[in-house]
Amino acid sequence: MCSILSVFDLRSGADLTPLRPLALSLSARQRHRGPDWSGVHADANAILVHERLAIVDPAGGSQPLRSADAALALAVNGEIYNHRDLERALTTPYEFQSGSDCEVINALYRDAVDGDIGAWLDRINGIFAFALWDGARGRYLIARDPIGVCPLYWGHDGDGRVWVASEMKALVRICEDVAAFPPGHWFDSATGELRRYYHRAWRDYDTTHGVEVPRQELREAFERAVHRQMMTDVPYGVLLSGGLDSSLVAACAARFARQRIEDDDRGEAWWPRLHSFAIGLEGSPDLAAAEVAAAALGTVHHGFRYTFEEGLDALPEVIRHIETFDVTTIRASTPMYLLARRIKAMGVKMVLSGEGSDEIFGGYLYFHKAPDARQFHEETIRKLDALHSFDCLRANKSMMAWGVEPRVPFLDVEFLDVAMRMDAQAKMVRVGPDGRRGIEKAVLREAFEGYLPDEILWRQKEQFSDGVGYGWIDGLKAHADAHVSDAELATAAARFEVTPPLTKEAYFYRVLFEQSFPGKACAETVPGGKSIACSSPAAIAWDAAFANAADPSGRAIAGVHQAALAVS
């Protein structure tokens, strides 16, 4: 995973001499994402800049990737897990110039240059954001992966040129209309249209009603997803909080760690010992649970501790990197950012993480209140659609701030097709004969019986920002209370035109965000400005207590956390 920056629609006959150094300087603002090498393609009509983090084919694979005839130039941030299958299915010969998994995008474009772009985009199993320039046709494509695991922004400068970048910080002072490029879409300059390519029948509950997915099928689909995403030529590890999701990722990875994935498991892995990483304050619930899970799985475990002051000191840089003022995201991003720095120091360049499971299986505590399967399913769809602005943004930007690539097997498109076609009735929190509610994500836990100790497999949900230590959130709220006056909060709507903050903590973060990202357009890239769980219309409809839940901590969700703990 890397960073890209491209500029298109250059004016014919204009002096482009200053544009190349400008593009390079803007791309340098993202170089933390790709510290290994920089590459540039520039001609009279397009400039593509790439900052590389070498994961696959580190000795080659430098970008922008060029076709043999030099007509195509491709800048990609991503990983294409099924690249070999795609290469074997090509109908038009293509002379590959590298061992990069991403070069298959050039080949797919050439294979169907006059065909349906969306069709071949939909065949890709991977995480990606790319800009492709076809110099022979004077045509460019921009596209982003289905869920939006890889960030991507675009906008126009004062001369009407189109700019594209992996992070908003590269465009904020040159594009007044900077915006997030939508996941699952592509833009084709030949038509001037932004179109969606990612469509799934399971988005409609009626197509899933009554559909059963055997536990074994669910388990095997996830195992394949983890196996695919272990594709790497550099040292890697797993994030292990000791919660269900990260522990399942680690358990599956441990089963495949000794074989080299890129060699079809025929040879021994270059780094056969699986390393796991966790972080928390002293006494953190996550650190204790991660030790139990790591011991059971036999990983080489690294549990790091940070102090509240270290987290507080990092906040300005965290917000500059993650490019949001969302309260939940900032709370959780800060320990993740600190963890990434420790991981980077150990020479690890890629980690597997557990994001996406709660959205697929209704793992957030307010799902306990879902009234029926249809509403449960529709809420999972809504949360999947929002992931690119919240958990995917957090995981990607917090880790990539230090050049560590996060991968998310739960959001593997093939696994999604298995898990989301299941009738949501099977995912709902069950009520026992005594009227007491059970635990969330029971269907997923049942699918992995025997993989983990029961105290991990059946551990109650903790939000990451809670699990690192309850003192983290409590300390942040106290710090904000001491630094934001009542008068400032009362006049927040006058100062902040877009989604004014509702709490002192949110106000504190908003001020830090505005320092790096001024203007209305930047603020509008942050939907809602507070926890998506608490601001969910569905959540409020299910339980009126959510309507006043300005604090997005799991412990604040209307007693569900305590009630669930009592049952589990």
Binding residues for ATP: 239, 279, 353-354
Q: How many CB atoms lie within 10 A of CB 488?
A: 15
Q: Give the residue numbers marked as catalytic.
A: 2
* Cα 511 versus chain centre, distance: 25
User: What pairs with residue 437 in β-bridges?
Assistant: 431
- H or E stretch including 49? strand 47-52
Strands 405-407, 350-352: pairing is parallel
- According to DSSP, residue 529 is labeled S
Q: What is the four-CA torsion angle of 338, 396, 46, 105, rounded to 10 degrees?
A: 140
> Coil, strand or helix: which one is 441?
coil
Strands 162-165, 153-156: pairing is antiparallel
What's the residue count for the chain? 568
Q: In angstroms, what CA-CA distances link 149 with 263, 270, 355, 409, 416? A: 26, 27, 10, 11, 14
Is the omega angle on the peptide bond into residue 371 within 30 degrees of 0, that is, cis?
Answer: no
Strands 300-305, 275-280: pairing is parallel
Q: How many CB atoms lie within 10 A of CB 171?
A: 26
The vertex-542 CA angle with 537 and 545, nearest 5°, equals: 85
Q: Which residues participate in the annotated binding site for L-glutamine? A: 101
CA atoms within 13 Å, Cβ hemisphere of 378:
11
Tokens 């001491």 found at: 482
Tell which residue, 111, 99, 1, 116, has the closest CA to residue 54. Answer: 1
90 phi, psi to nearest 5 deg: -65, 140
Query: Counting beta carbons within 10 angstroms of the beta carbon of residue 164, is it exposed (0 to 12), middle (13 to 18) or buried (19 or more)?
Result: buried
CA–CA separation, 499 vs 514, rounded Å? 13
Q: Which residues participate in the annotated binding site? A: 101, 239, 279, 353-354
Q: Are 53 and 2 in contact (CB under 8 A)?
A: yes
Sequence-separated contacts (24+) of 295-300 with Cβ below 8 Å: 296/452, 296/453, 296/456, 297/247, 297/250, 297/251, 297/254, 297/452, 298/254, 298/274, 299/238, 299/240, 299/250, 299/254, 299/274, 299/275, 300/273, 300/274, 300/275, 300/276
